[in-house]
Amino acid sequence: MNSAETPAKPGQRKLLFSAGLSWMFDAMDVGIISFIAAALATEWSLTPQQTGLFTSMNSVGMAVGAAIAGIMADKYGRRAVLLWTLLIFSIASGLSAAATSFAVLLLLRFIAGFGLGGELPVASTLVSESVPVKDRGRAVVLLESFWAAGWIAAALIAYFVIPKYGWQTAFIIGAVPALYALYLRKSIQDPPRFKEQARAGAAARLSVRERFVSVWASPHRKSTIMLWVLWFTVVFSYYGMFLWLPNVMLLKGFSLVKSFEYVLIMTLAQLPGYFTAAYFIEKFGRKFVLVVYLLLTAASAAWFGNSTSEGMLIAAGICLSFFNLGAWGGMYAYTPELYPTRVRSTGVGLAASFGRIGGIIGPYLVGMLVAREVAIGAIFWIFFAAILIGAAAVLWLGTETKGRELTD
């Protein structure tokens, strides 16, 4: 990456890389779930509904974790909450390898999801508050690009490890980030603007109810409505589509190994999606990136669901990864910019938490529809419609924040 692509100061680059690695480990854990679901469905003879429940359980934990961690990060600091959430998901992921029943596995995936859901909004808030205004949007999108690296790692683990060593080994690998938390203790600090607020004591004195009310107060109500709609539709469609990708490939007649291979190819397209979004977000603004990338995601979803040949399926999957993940980067960059410092993490956490409800419904809905033998093409038209609603919310209710200083 050159200086035009990353924050200029070495300290900012170190922060971006440190937070990005924790983000990568999160993505690796979520990505592994989609591949483990395909392997478990075969090994444990899971029904489509059980597979949908398994892939949704992470999002149940993430919904709870995002809300609680967002509030805690405004009260106790971004760094402390980032470390604890990283530890929680790492330990739960490692213990998942020892699960001997479906119920125990669901419980451990809930706990892992709690840590995951808490870490993501806190990390994006921390980076957003630590980077100058001219680089802020680009920095958060580049932070999000580590998600693609994590999914690529998950796809590689699925391709090389799961068929040979079993799904338990993939979960054990997911415990490695616990060691990384020790490094993060020394390399990451709370942003200066949060420290100033903490010294003043105003944020710490706010109750949970006051934080929630503040997010919905008149200055922020329009933004909050827009963000909750955006997060719900994006997370609903993303988890509904991507956690089922390996299974969709199986349903279309490919072998397990071949399905993993094709999903790996599609996953590689996430990186250029992020990098182009990182460029356009500072050139044309947040609303431009979100609306354009969401519209193209919707078109790609319709194309993928109704593809009839192998070549069309791969091409549509590549476009789906490219535009969907670019939109995710724009969403994470945009969300912290719409709230003041004292409730910023709360606002981001609540929006992410509401979005995770979509992440619960999406994969479970796919499982129900597949069980009823609804065509994959028809299922993907649902995601097409949902993504259009998210784009419309940004277009009509969103305010542009490009070049605007964060408020305290």
From first to last of the 408 residues of the chain, give the pLDDT tens digit: 443 344 446 677 888 888 888 888 888 888 888 778 878 888 888 887 788 788 778 888 988 999 899 888 888 888 888 888 888 988 998 999 998 889 999 999 999 999 988 888 888 888 888 888 888 888 888 888 888 888 888 878 887 888 888 888 988 888 887 777 667 766 778 777 777 776 766 555 667 778 888 888 888 899 999 999 999 999 999 888 887 777 777 777 766 666 667 777 887 888 899 889 989 998 999 999 999 999 999 999 999 888 877 788 889 989 999 999 999 989 988 999 998 888 888 898 899 999 989 988 888 888 889 888 888 889 999 999 999 999 999 999 989 888 777 766
Is 6 inside a domain boundary? no
DSSP 218-241: TTTHHHHHHHHHHHHHHHHHHHHH
In a domain, 190, yes or no: no
Buried b (16+ CB within 10 A) or exposed e, 335-370: bbbbbebbbbbbbbbbbbbbbbbbbbbbbbbbbebb
- Whether this prediction's pTM lies above 0.85 is answered by no
Is residue 193 one of the residues assigned to a domain?
Answer: no
Amino acid, single-letter form, for residue 93: S
Residues 6+ apart with CB under 8 A from 267: 31, 148, 151, 152, 154, 155, 321
In a domain, 327, yes or no: yes
Q: Provide φ and ψ at 140, rounded to 5°.
A: -70, -35
Q: CATH code at 365?
A: 1.20.1250.20
SS3 content of the chain, % helix, strand, coil (to 5): 85, 0, 15
**pLDDT the model gives residue 2:** 42
φ and ψ at residue 2, rounded to 5 degrees: -95, 180
pLDDT of amino acid 6? 46
Asked if the structure places residue 197 within a domain, the reply is no
Structurally, the chain folds into a number of domains equal to: 1
**Structural domain boundaries, residue 325:** 13-184+214-397
Looking at residue 269, what is its pLDDT? 87
Q: Is residue 280 part of a domain?
A: yes
Q: Is residue 202 part of a domain?
A: no
Question: Encoding tokens for residue 392?
Answer: 């419309």
57 within a domain of the structure (yes/no): yes
- Rounded to whole angstroms, the Cα distance separating 106 from 37 reads 12
